[in-house]
């Protein structure tokens, strides 16, 4: 019986040494918004990623997915007003159609709600372009006292892209008059 208890205690102690990721009670919310809900092919739209206030943060990391069949990356970067300051890094990954923002802080810091990055895209095809977040993290603490906040990355932004309007000017017809009737067809030469 003593052996069984010893084995069980050894197992319990061994399991306690396995590293785990702890989650803090507070939630961190990342949001994505677009400057326009509708654009025309050829127009540009700004997409912004922001984060809620975080207590005792060690940094943040978030990636923005975009539909490269509908929009083309133009430019972007970390927002100058973020309280994460010089600790931030920004990257565009063309192959996976992602834009990332990562900030690692040297010590725990309270982070104010702020814009992390603003990215400019150009509409290249009609339809609906969706911008969504993935791989968002907000670490806190240090060493075994550290972990990750519960993160809400469900925010998305959708932009409807319309076909361009082609303006026609200077048309000359070989007819002096023509009647237009609803649903009728007429060939112009």
Polymer length in residues for the chain: 189
Residue 158's pLDDT is what?
96
How are beta strands 88-93 and 98-111 bridged, if at all? antiparallel
Q: What is the pTM of this model?
A: 0.71
CB-based contact 155:34 (threshold 8 Å): no
Helix H or strand E encompassing 4: helix 2-16
Question: Is pLDDT larger for residue 92 or for residue 143?
Answer: 92
pLDDT in tens, 4-55: 554 443 444 443 433 333 333 468 888 999 999 999 999 999 999 988 888 8
User: What are φ and ψ of residue 10, in 5° steps?
Assistant: -65, -45
What is the rounded distance in angstroms from the CA atom of residue 160 to the CA atom of residue 177? 39
């Amino acid at each position: 019986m003593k052996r069984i208890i010893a084995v069980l205690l050894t197992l319990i102690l061994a399991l306690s040494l396995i590293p785990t990721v702890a989650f803090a009670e507070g939630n961190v919310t990342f949001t994505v918004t677009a400057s326009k809900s509708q654009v025309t092919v050829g127009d540009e739209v700004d997409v912004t990623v922001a984060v809620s206030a975080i207590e005792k943060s060690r940094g943040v990391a978030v990636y923005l997915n975009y539909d490269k069949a509908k929009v083309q990356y133009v430019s972007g970067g970390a927002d100058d007003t973020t309280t994460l300051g010089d600790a931030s890094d920004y990257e565009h990954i063309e192959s996976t159609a992602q834009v990332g923002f990562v900030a690692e802080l040297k010590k725990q810091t309270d982070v104010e709600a702020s814009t992390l990055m603003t990215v400019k895209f150009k509409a290249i095809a009609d339809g609906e372009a969706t911008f969504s977040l993935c791989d968002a993290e907000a670490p806190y603490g240090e060493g075994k006292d550290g972990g990750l906040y519960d993160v809400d990355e469900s925010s998305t932004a959708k932009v409807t892209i319309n076909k361009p309007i082609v303006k026609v000017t200077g048309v000359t017809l070989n007819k002096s008059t023509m009647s237009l009737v609803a649903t009728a067809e007429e060939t112009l030469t």
